[in-house]
Amino acid sequence: MKSFAIIGLGRFGSAIARDLEQEGGEVIAIEKDPDKVRAYENEFTSVVEADSTDIEALKDLGVSDVDAAVVSIGGNMGESILITLLLKEIEVPLVMVKAVDELHGKVLKKIGANNVVFPEKDSAEVLSKRLLWPGYNELPLAPGLFMVEINAPQKFIGKNLGTLQIRKKYNSNVIAIKRKKPIINDDNQTDYEQIIIAPPTAETKLKGGDAMILVCSQEKIETFRELS
């Protein structure tokens, strides 16, 4: 079971916490407003009143041990920036932060936020799936039909598409493969560039770190999720 810290229980933060718990995630919800804590204490498994700008409070709550943290502070940019810095300091593997505007988003990326989201563009449901299932992204094409990007399941690695028979076994079409290609940058350090294999052939072999872009039904999305 994956564990998550949700910091800030406004409309956006509470929606993500709700979706994560419904999908089986273990959530600790942290909020400094006692009224909001009382409002949600019977809805979420763990709701704590605490100041997330206090690094010792974060450590005491076990935030350093979660798989990911979501910072959903209202319009207080300074507070969200400080909390993001503290989460990186205690080595939370994945930090997703709500931004109020583009400049705020740029600052968050500069200080190490793994994902910067804008609630008016990004739905809580899709973001929750990304947290539970790294590499996940989806685009509705028609009722019941989606184009999705997922990390290739471990059991697929080292096998070619012809052997996997994804269309036959899962009624899904692989339309592209995203792959990171190692390169040497200007500082003589190893870096990566993204290449797209489109359309892949039956001989295309999946490698570690590959993402598949598929067209499939909602039901099959859940099937691939279970394989990951």
HEC readout, 140-159: EEECCEEEEEEECCHHHCCC
| pLDDT tens across the length of the chain (228 residues) | 689 999 999 988 999 999 899 888 899 999 999 999 999 988 998 999 999 999 999 999 999 999 999 999 867 888 999 999 999 999 999 999 998 888 888 899 889 898 888 876 666 766 776 677 665 666 667 777 888 888 888 899 999 999 999 999 999 999 999 888 877 777 777 777 888 998 899 999 999 888 888 998 878 877 887 776
**Same domain, yes or no, for 32 and 9?**
yes
**Same domain, yes or no, for 81 and 172?**
no
pLDDT, residue 71, reads: 95
**Same domain, yes or no, for 212 and 195?**
yes
CATH number of the domain at 103, please.
3.40.50.720
pLDDT, residue 32, reads: 93
| Structural domain of 141 | 137-227
**Same domain, yes or no, for 204 and 154?**
yes
What is the pTM (predicted TM-score) of this model? 0.63
**Same domain, yes or no, for 105 and 87?**
yes
**In Å, how far are 51, 116, 121 from 83, measured between CA atoms?**
10, 14, 23
Euclidean distance between CA atoms 27 and 6, whole angstroms: 7
**Same domain, yes or no, for 128 and 207?**
no
**Same domain, yes or no, for 121 and 151?**
no
**Same domain, yes or no, for 44 and 119?**
yes
pLDDT, residue 100, reads: 85
Show which of 92, 117, 132 is a domain's final residue: 132
**Same domain, yes or no, for 121 and 148?**
no
Nearest to 26 by CA among 115, 137, 131, 122: 131
Show which of 86, 112, 132 is a domain's final residue: 132
pLDDT, residue 17, reads: 92
**Same domain, yes or no, for 128 and 152?**
no
Domain tally, the chain: 2
Nearest to 138 by CA among 123, 149, 125: 149
pLDDT, residue 133, reads: 66
Show which of 75, 99, 132 is a domain's final residue: 132
**Same domain, yes or no, for 114 and 165?**
no
End-to-end CA distance of the chain: 13
pLDDT, residue 134, reads: 61
**Same domain, yes or no, for 21 and 69?**
yes
